[in-house]
Amino acid sequence: MRQNVAEIIWMNYLFKRYEIYTEDCRRHDALGDSILIGRIFLRLLEELEARNIQNIEFNDPVVVKRFQIIPLA
């Protein structure tokens, strides 16, 4: 099943989509960002389990159509 997302996929988008708590981690910090990425990964696994998806295969190359780097504040 292919699903396109119109928005730019960046961490803030994923935090909102998966309702991930971020206030206890420093952003743009190696440890803090690693913890937050781990939380995103766990939510993705939960979503796959809820959809009863056991395996993921990429038959076509994965193409990143656009991305945006947000400047550090």
The Cα 22–Cα 10 span in angstroms is 14
Report pLDDT for 47: 92
- Measured CA angle at 48 (ends 43, 53), to 5 deg: 170
Kindly give the confidence (pLDDT) of every residue in the chain, 73 residues in length, as a single tens digit, with 9 standing for 90 and above.
456 667 677 888 899 999 999 999 998 889 999 999 999 999 999 999 999 999 888 777 777 766 667 777 6
The Cα 11–Cα 41 span in angstroms is 11
Tokens of 46: 């939960």
